[in-house]
Amino acid sequence: MADIVVTRKIAPVALKELESVGTVKLWEEDRSISPAVLREWVRTADALLSMLTDPIDDTLLASAPRLRIVANMAVGYDNIDVKAATRRKIAVTNTPDVLTEATADLTWALLLALLRGVLSSHQALRQGAWDGWRPDGFLGTEVHGKVLGIVGLGRIGRAVAERARGFHMPVIALASDRARPDDGIGIKRMARDEFLARADIVSLHAPLTPDTRHMVNRQWLFDMKPGAFLINTARGALIDEAALLEALNRGRVAGAALDVFEHEPVSPDHPLVVHPRVLATPHIGSATRETREQMAVMAARNIVWAIQGLKPPQCLNPEVWSD
């Protein structure tokens, strides 16, 4: 039987799949497993089911001579040194597709709540600050007909764009986005400067790579249409947070909705968390019961396939697998 390490509590149905092929060592505490403990645990492990919050670097991989697979329970995998894993003939997998709809839903929840001031009006009501209806009370921004700019036309970006149809919103994207064709959604592609000048709302859905880290920098933010809004449900490090804070304070950006931050967990007194024009959530893009169970099952099945000698379905480095 294989030794399998799981770094967080996951859906019971996924644990059962893993227990069918091995002995599971499960980290059950509410805090993340420390790198030191994880290194100790993987010394005899054949498989590792990891989270996006677990740094899987070459040092850790070197301490796991029996490791055959790292199954990340996330669509992203920037926490894993894939090149190092490939050199060591360790398969790396992720969980694409299953979190697309949940993340797109959250993007729209944040977008609507931000533009209509849902959180601030709710807080005012709870604090007894509502003294009755008036023409200028709790004014927000209308969503219908606004121009939605999508950065990253992958699965999630396209799902967000598709939802814009119901609001009769033109959707634009960067001409440099190398995603597949629009498939009838009607997305218009344009150069960066025109894109930023036209978008009323910019929604980030790009992966985190060396090229996209801090892509939303001071120049980007000050080139945006005055009064535009920024949404990020992708990766926190896409944004230079200091530059965003400046743009908000100077009124260049009307508001931001952030589900992710460069360094997580973020403190409750973080300048962006407490900013009056920021709506922040604690990385809940995929946080539905249905999606988290599907993610866990997909990660578990990748491990089951690897333990059984088969190439995992979501293998990111298939070159390590010899048929």
Best CA proximity match to 140, nearest among 271, 254, 272, 274: 254
| Mean pLDDT score of the chain | 96
The string of pLDDT tens digits covering residues 114-139 is 999 999 999 999 999 999 999 999 99
pLDDT for position 166: 95
pLDDT for position 185: 83
pLDDT for position 179: 61
pLDDT bucket at 88, cuts 50 / 70 / 90: very high
- CATH 3.40.50.300 assigned to domain 2-98+289-321? The reply is no
Active site residues: 235, 264, 283
pLDDT for position 274: 98
pLDDT for position 180: 62
pLDDT bucket at 183, cuts 50 / 70 / 90: low
pLDDT for position 270: 98
pLDDT score of 182 more than 70 = no
Q: Could you check whether 2-98+289-321 and 99-280 share the same CATH topology?
A: yes
Contacts of 265 (CB under 8 A, 6+ apart): 282
pLDDT for position 321: 85
**Percent of the chain scored above 90 by pLDDT?**
95
pLDDT score of 323 more than 60 = no
The highest-level CATH class for domain 99-280 is: alpha beta
Catalogue the E-assigned strands of 73-218.
91-93, 148-151, 171-174, 188-190, 201-204
For the chain, the structural domain boundaries read 2-98+289-321, 99-280
pLDDT for position 99: 94
Distance CA 255, CA 275 (A): 9
Q: Which amino acid is at 265?
A: P
What is the DSSP code (8-state) at residue 236?
G
Tokens of 322: 């010899």
Distance CA 43, CA 45 (A): 6
Distance CA 93, CA 267 (A): 31
Distance CA 230, CA 257 (A): 6
